[in-house]
Chains A and B, each alone.
Chain A
Amino acid sequence: MSGFQYEAPATVEAAVGFLAGAKGNARVLAGGTDLLVQLRTGAANPDLVVDIKRIGELRQISGNAASGFVIGAAVTGAEIGEHKELAKAWPGFVEAMELIGSTQIQGRATPGGNLCNASPAGDCTPAMFAAGVVCVIAGPNGRREAPVEQIPTGPGKTSLAKGEFIVAIKLPARAKNSGDAYLRMIPRTEMDIAIVGAGVNLTLDASGACTAARVSLGAVAPTVLLVDAAAKALIGSKVDDAALARLAAAASAACKPIDDKRGTIEYRTKVAGVLARRAAVIARDRARS
């Protein structure tokens, strides 16, 4: 129980080989900011740990706003924050990633890790839901793609099969006049897990009317939620006060939260609407500028 097999393969295929062939419990190590804490507390007791940071293609950001970005699964928050073009095209996604933990955590943490840790409160995950991220998954049967909202299935649980892991996340081509934003409520200004989080990504037409929108909520259900009713409240509107009020109401109505050490059902439900509304205003203003 005191040790585990550690592998640091150089290729995706080798990593899949280790994961697929593992006897017992295998874990992927990217940034390790969740896994190492779980190892220390005994919450995780893997037989095999596969470190994916030595796989070259997983360490890169490619593409551009027009074509869409592809972010390797081992790219850290710090590297994402330093990518100027990415930050310009997807400020909500980048800010959400950068909200996770401290500067030190940013030096290690990855969006794929945030997604696969499958906490409903992970900050980057709601932003990826709103952005419409597609995940590239490698496994024993080759590669496949899946929309981000299909990955987490419950707290700490994902839809990934044995031997599978995420090699990249793809942000779609950035439409003209579009913008995204993510906001979270924490008791301090840093270092906390979100009590509630809300992501909005929307596109406006030439008249300023919203033609497309995705709204997500974190920490209000067993998984991050994509709230269609909240998006519908925006589509067709000029994202004015009336639409924002409908959005907030729809967001609150979608919540299925719990009472826990971080917040109450009542609080999460109400503040989900507040944050969705505020995030929509930021996303709208970004789309306009």
Chain B
Amino acid sequence: MAGYEGKAFKWVGTRPVRPDGVDKVTGRANYGADQNLAGQLTGRILRSPHAHAKILSIDTSKAEKLPGVKAVITGKDFPQMHRGVLPGDEGVNFHYLSSNIMARDKALYDGHAVAAVAATSAAIAEEALALIDVKYEVLPHVIDVDDALKPGAPLLHDDIFTTGVNPKPDKPSNTVQRVHMALGDANAAFKDADIIVERSFKSKTVHQGYIEPHAVVAEWCEDGQARIWCSSQGHFMVRALTARLLNMEVAQVRVMPAEIGGGFGGKTIIFIEPTAVLLARKAERPVRIVMSRDEVFRATGPAPGSSIDVKIGAKKNGMLVAAVGEFRFQAGAFPGSPLGPACMAAFGPYALAHVTSAGYEAVTNRPLCFSYRAPGAPLASFAVESVIDEIAQKLNIDPMEMRIMNGSKEGTQMVYGPKLKAVGNLECLKAIKNHPINKIPLGPNQGRGLAAGFWFNLGGQSSAVVNIAEDGTATIMTGSPDIGGSRASMALMAAEVLGIDYSKVRPIVGDTSAVGFCEITHGSRVTFATGMAIIQAAEDVVLQCRQRVAAMWEVDVEAVVWEDGHARPAGANAGEQKPLSLAQIAARAARTGGPLVGKAAINAGGAGPAFAVHICDVEVDPETGGVKILRYVASQDAGKAIHPSYVEGQIQGGAVQGIGWALNEEYIYGADGRLQNSGFLDYRIPVASDLPMIEPIILEIPNPGHPFGVRGVGEVGIVPPLAALANAISRATGVRMMDLPMTPPKILAAIDAKK
């Protein structure tokens, strides 16, 4: 596996057209909603209009009688799951998962599914929903995390007993868990600080905002097997969870991956697949469910809102002495908020001897809060980076120098356990420090803001197969959905190892019956871990080629080397043999042992953490509070960039999602606990005219844990923008915004309050 460091790459690092590109610019690519089976019905889901209500009864009889309605289901049609978490379930509470997909005795949020129908047309399905009579007893609800943590708050579940506290509580509450991690003794160390800044921050729920709504087509077969077509961040995850929730064997479920129209973490869990399978089974026809945008906002897995206190102490010269973060994260109606990762990532860019990172997670009457790009880290980083910037302002020192002075680097002890290996935090900082943006003079009402960010990245299980065709071309298959160009990076890595042209490699995303298990596409893991599997599978082919050629030449395998796509004699002693190309070897496959198939199935460790540093210039209209972003530069430690264009795309896309989070995006609830902005009109993701070009800087600090030096690149780019903008706005206006999003009304109110 070793031996690639320092080697000149032929394909890795180039920017060819992606293999799936033509399908995607011609409209031919099939996404979740594009599947169309013969006899397919339309499925629709009835959702609770109440934030919290006991379901007294559901009468579906009228809907069932409507001509064209083929199936109606409710929570009663779903198998009952064991309450609590069973050993071996890796923390998944299947009772909760099932109850989120279809409510049982209580509706826990506005949008919670309570029944579903399948009918011969969308119009009939909608008419049928209106005929379902659900009797509710409306209960008091709780939306805000600080309110949910209070004693006496409306209780969502009777089986949540706070974990991580001592003694273990004997009464249920909304508080899911206490997380606490520490290095040194921060509270004692504050006495050594010349300055202490302590601030409180609030933020609202935000959505991943993928443009493709969740969609599934399910088919039930007479032999008790189910076939599912859907877009997801992991069809093996869809298979496993659907099978479990429906009491099926895993191999009875086959999931075909559709193209995925964006996920950002939001498609790492299921919402509608078991419902579609149950409808298809009952209707004896295939069923397609496509969520509306309203349903996507009300009933999928957005990122949590938060309430955060951060206290940091420093010396006069800017050296940090102690830091404490207290993070209170919403869950939705069920546990699952990324509180742990937030606590772990919060202080990642800093070398701190005394630091405490702790927090609470509480369930609220909202949709399940789930993963969104570097889950939890943007909120924690917003708070920490804002306080760091305020200390620099108060000490009147350069915020860049302060970050470099305190920056984490190889050997730094992290609060969550390990010491950092080779990382690029300081390189990212210095790249921004040396960027020409710093020399551009700022005008009135303009400000420049800087922030750093950290994210872990993951490895995990992946499988890959490399099939060499009779003419030496290659079909390579993995089970990782291609969410933004990973087919291209897989093909580049395979071409590199095999020594054949990129155009001779055809990458395929295989279904759950065609290829070995692959974990979900999360933690920026695909190019790292699935890429490692592809490299090993290709190396397997190379080894087989060498063995076959060695047999032909009647030499030891060590006497045959693989160079530039050819088997060659290792040296003069190996004999005067003519090199054989992969195509020539493939042509003789039948006579040398059969088809050339390379495979790998791995559980990849060694993922390298990623750092990012962003800088931006803004102008704030002092009379309206409107923010215009003038310039934006983002540096990131990417490890080796396999396809640099798509690495840049990850940096740019992450930055812009962070910009939306910072300025405008939020879930807005009424006093009735209902979501008021469940559409793209009032859930305001950035549009093209809001933005300048986003200049990416890729820093290739190789990850020692990967044969090509790959680090995950997908997530860390969303971590710095929130604070980078808050810091820029602070310097433009003199007011520090601690409540996200920083909308014009909030900024104007803060400016006016300062006057």
Write the residues of chain A forming the contact surface with B, with a CB cutoff of 8 angstroms. 1-3, 41, 185, 187-193, 195, 261-264, 266-267, 270-271, 274-275
Contact = CB atoms under 8 A, between A and B. Distances in A.
A18 B745 CA distance: 46
* Chain A CB within 10 Å, residue with most, of B624, B668, B680, B681: B624
Contact of A185 (B124, B690, B744, B752): B744
B257 to A, nearest CB: 29
A261 B677 contact: yes
A190 B685 CA distance: 11
A271 B677 contact: no
* Chain B CB within 10 Å, residue with most, of A3, A267, A275: A267
Contact of B743 (A187, A190, A191): A187
A99 B623 CA distance: 21
Report, nearest first, the 3 A-B pairs whose CB atoms are least far apart. A2-B123, A267-B745, A189-B689
Contact of A274 (B624, B682, B684, B749): B624
Interface string B657-684: 0000001100010000000110011101
B745 A264 contact: yes
B120 to A, nearest CB: 12
Given A190-B689, A270-B748, A3 B684 contact: no
Given A2-B123, A3-B123, A271-B624, A192 B684 contact: yes
B623 A274 contact: yes
Contact of B681 (A1, A2, A191, A263): A191
A191 B752 CA distance: 27
A4 B316 CA distance: 74
A193 B681 contact: yes
A275 B689 CA distance: 21
A275 B625 CA distance: 13
Nearest to B623: A274
A180 B24 CA distance: 45
A190 B743 CA distance: 15
B686 interface: yes
B623 A271 contact: yes
A275 B743 CA distance: 18
A195 B123 contact: no
Given A188-B684, A266-B749, A267-B744, A261 B676 contact: yes
B127 A189 contact: no
Given A2-B127, A3-B123, A262-B682, A195 B668 contact: no
B501 interface: no
Given A195-B745, A267-B744, 12 more contacts: A1-B130, A185-B626, A185-B744, A189-B687, A189-B689, A191-B687, A264-B745, A266-B745, A267-B745, A267-B749, A274-B623, A275-B624
Given A2-B127, A187-B663, A191-B687, A271 B681 contact: no
Contact of A2 (B124, B624, B687, B752): B124
B689 A267 contact: no
Interface string B256-286: 0000000000000000000000000000000
A267 B126 contact: no
B682 A261 contact: yes
Nearest to B676: A261
27 contacts: A1-B127, A1-B130, A2-B124, A2-B126, A185-B624, A187-B663, A187-B684, A188-B684, A188-B686, A188-B687, A188-B689, A188-B690, A189-B687, A190-B690, A191-B687, A193-B681, A261-B676, A261-B682, A266-B749, A267-B625, A267-B745, A267-B749, A270-B748, A270-B752, A271-B623, A274-B624, A275-B624
A195 B621 CA distance: 15
Contacts of A2: 123-124, 126-127
Interface residues of B, number: 29
A193 B127 CA distance: 31
Nearest to A1: B127
Contacts of A264: 745, 749
A263 B664 CA distance: 12
Given A261-B676, A267-B745, A187 B123 contact: no
Nearest to B660: A188
Interface string B118-144: 000001101100100000000000000
Interface in B308-354: none
A221 B607 CA distance: 57
A189 B690 contact: yes
Interface in B619-642: 623-626
* Chain A CB within 10 Å, residue with most, of B676, B680, B689, B744: B744
A189 B686 CA distance: 9
Contacts of A270: 748, 752
Contacts of B690: 188-190
B749 A192 contact: no
Contact of A187 (B680, B744, B752): B744
B687 A190 contact: yes
Interface string B729-755: 000000000000001110011001000
Contact of A261 (B126, B623, B668, B749): B668
A3 B126 CA distance: 12
Interface string B457-491: 00000000000000000000000000000000000
A68 B680 CA distance: 38
A263 B745 contact: yes
Contacts of B687: 188-191
A208 B475 CA distance: 77
A2 B127 CA distance: 7
Nearest to A268: B745
Contacts of A190: 687, 689-690
A128 to B, nearest CB: 22
Nearest to A260: B676
Contacts of B681: 191-193
Contacts of A192: 681, 684
A267 B676 contact: no
A238 B644 CA distance: 59
Interface in B674-711: 676-677, 680-682, 684, 686-687, 689-690
* Chain A CB within 10 Å, residue with most, of B623, B676, B686: B623
Nearest to A270: B748
Nearest to A248: B623
Contacts of B130: 1
A182 B123 CA distance: 41
Contacts of A263: 745
B410 to A, nearest CB: 42
A41 B295 CA distance: 12
Interface string B588-629: 000000000000000000000000000000000001111000
A195 B744 contact: yes
A262 B681 CA distance: 11
A185 B127 CA distance: 40
Contacts of B744: 185, 187, 195, 267
A69 to B, nearest CB: 29
A192 B664 CA distance: 11
Nearest to B678: A41
A191 B684 CA distance: 9
A185 B626 CA distance: 8
A285 B749 CA distance: 31
Contact of B748 (A1, A188, A267): A267
A193 B668 CA distance: 16
Given A188-B664, A263-B745, A193 B124 contact: no
A85 to B, nearest CB: 27
Nearest to A2: B123
A189 B690 CA distance: 6
Contacts of A266: 745, 749
